[in-house]
Chain A
Amino acid sequence: MSIEIVNVHKAFGENEVLKGFTLTIPVGQTTSIIGGSGSGKSVALKHIIGLIRPDVGDVWVDGDNVSRLDQNSVYALRRKVGYVFQFAALFDSMTVADNVGMGLKRIPDLAEGWIRDRVAECLHLVDMDGFGDRYPSELSGGQKKRAGLARAIATEPTYLLYDEPTTGLDPVTRAVIDDLIVRMAEELGVTGVVITHDMTSAFRISDRVAMLYDGRIRLEGTPAEMRQTEDPIVKGFIEGRPELLESAT
């Protein structure tokens, strides 16, 4: 039971984004993939649930090769993977409660009452009791992210994928989202994959950190190991020192 990304290459036209991306996500832990803007982090994450298919390479989730699955099998796999989008991607024509219940409505034989209770439970888990009747346009950025998280956990997934969960938030709200990610791992026991360029957040929430650079993993380790590295590319990125990056390239 794990996620394994093996030698994935992906290009969009002339732009080769992933060039042999390989990473194993340990079960029951939270792994952050860090890297600069445009380094291909989101592209890598979307490969895990088959939103993007690799040109070369394989993505394995619980023993299934996502890139070779037919559409129905991909949909079945997506029910055990929750995805928290960068800007929440809430359906703006629906209330928060309807958004959270969307994934549940795809599961056969669930009673309306059960879905309603589960939606309320998920909103409670992300501290959004009483927000069910609001529309996304009535929420702040942090509330949207929490509603997106509630939608992702509604189907009780084994894995949770977070796309830049703290981008664009103020420091206090960032801390709240970080705490939620840690709580999801501890209380629900989910395996988390977070992509971020927010180093404070990455070190706070992660069991492991991997840096994506030039289309492949440059270095992987625990937060402590990453902090101690002498690799100028990784060190320059973590410490926000462009001169180290420039000297190394």
Chain B
Amino acid sequence: MPLFVRPIVAVGRGTLASIVAVGKAGYLAVDAIHALKQVQLWGPHLLVQMTRIGVESVPIALFIAMFTGIVLALQASYTFTGAVPLYFVGVLVGKTMVLELGPVLTGLALSGRVGANIAAEIGTMRVTEQIDALEALAYDPVAYLVVPRVLAGAIMFPVVVILANAVGIAAGWATSLVLLDMSSPAFMRGLRLFFEPFDVQFSMIKSVTFGLTVTAVGSSFGFHTRGGAEGVGRAATGAVVISSMIILVLDAFWAAVLL
């Protein structure tokens, strides 16, 4: 194969692999919808998964949001000084956190924390025949393993994102007070200036779809794991890469459709 063709082939293979991965996740999502009626299998695990996927993700999400809020306030001040009234710092921090960085950064961070965890856990169950054992004991593994995780993702991602938005804005406000010599009323004036209740709905819609994506893609990679430890590692990596890509595509999609 000529040397200059190799990068093109590699890109083609990568694209095909991504499309296949998305297709598999889609099929699994359809199976999960069918498995919803088996409440007795997924119901008892929903709360546990909501804790693992949602509550345990709060610290990392808030950590990221806090520093994002600080940086947003500082960069806004740097950009606006001398050109735009400083209370616009509040506009930029509020709008950017709620519309974009709160959901997207949380989604990307949780694709690593949650998506990789789900892929590794289910993938290990696959390669150690625990999923076959579930089937042999007359359990539908999609209802038992996938549905509670995907539902927990859809329910808990918006909750985590709301908290992240709040902490990001609070961090921006504190930064404005301490480092930018702004007053609280000035920051709040900016925060309220272009605020629309729809902004919060937009943030929630995005985070629900991010939650579905991260958990469905993680489950799919876990479910289709082949080989031993190496296969589990590949599944975890693949889950993070593909769910991150889908999150960014969805981010652009929702902006184009809803804004």
Residues of A within 8 A of B140 (CB): 71, 75
Nearest chain A CB to B77 CB, angstrom units: 50
With the chains together, A46 CA to B136 CA distance in Å? 9
Given A89-B128, A89-B132; 15 other pairs, CB 8 A cutoff: A49-B135, A51-B136, A71-B140, A76-B138, A78-B136, A78-B137, A81-B136, A87-B128, A87-B129, A89-B129, A90-B130, A91-B133, A103-B138, A106-B137, A151-B133
With the chains together, A86 CA to B136 CA distance in Å? 13
User: B195 within 8 Å of A by Cβ?
Assistant: no
User: A102 within 8 Å of B by Cβ?
Assistant: yes
Residues of A within 8 A of B128 (CB): 87, 89, 92
With the chains together, A81 CA to B135 CA distance in Å? 12
Contact of A91 (CB < 8 Å), options: B130, B135, B136, B138: B130
User: A83 within 8 Å of B by Cβ?
Assistant: yes
Q: Find out whether the CB atom of A86 lies under 8 angstroms from the CB atom of B138.
A: no
Residues of B within 8 A of A76 (CB): 138
User: A9 within 8 Å of B by Cβ?
Assistant: no
Contact of A75 (CB < 8 Å), options: B132, B133, B138: B138
Q: Which residues of A contact B (CB under 8 A)?
A: 46, 49, 51, 71, 75-76, 78-79, 81, 83, 85-87, 89-92, 102-103, 106, 151
Q: Find out whether the CB atom of A85 lies under 8 angstroms from the CB atom of B137.
A: no
Nearest chain A CB to B143 CB, angstrom units: 11
With the chains together, A90 CA to B130 CA distance in Å? 7
Chain A proximity mask over B127-169: 1 for CB below 8 Å, otherwise 0: 0111011011111100000000000000000000000000000
Q: Find out whether the CB atom of A79 lies under 8 angstroms from the CB atom of B136.
A: no
Q: Find out whether the CB atom of A86 lies under 8 angstroms from the CB atom of B129.
A: yes
Q: Which residues of B contact A (CB under 8 A)?
A: 128-130, 132-133, 135-140
The A/B interface has a contact count, at CB < 8 Å, of 46
Nearest chain B CB to A117 CB, angstrom units: 19
Q: Find out whether the CB atom of B138 lies under 8 angstroms from the CB atom of A83.
A: no
Contact of B137 (CB < 8 Å), options: A46, A71, A92, A103: A103
| 11 intermolecular pairs with C-beta atoms under 8 Å apart | A46-B132, A83-B132, A83-B133, A85-B132, A86-B129, A87-B129, A89-B129, A89-B133, A102-B137, A103-B138, A106-B137
Q: Find out whether the CB atom of B135 lies under 8 angstroms from the CB atom of A89.
A: no
With the chains together, A87 CA to B133 CA distance in Å? 11
Nearest chain B CB to A142 CB, angstrom units: 17
Residues of B within 8 A of A92 (CB): 128, 130
With the chains together, A47 CA to B132 CA distance in Å? 12
Residues of A within 8 A of B135 (CB): 49, 51, 78
Residues of A within 8 A of B129 (CB): 85-87, 89
Contact of A49 (CB < 8 Å), options: B130, B136, B139: B136
With the chains together, A83 CA to B137 CA distance in Å? 8
Q: Find out whether the CB atom of A89 lies under 8 angstroms from the CB atom of B130.
A: yes
Residues of B within 8 A of A106 (CB): 137-139
Of all chain B residues, the one with the shortest Cβ separation from A108 is B40
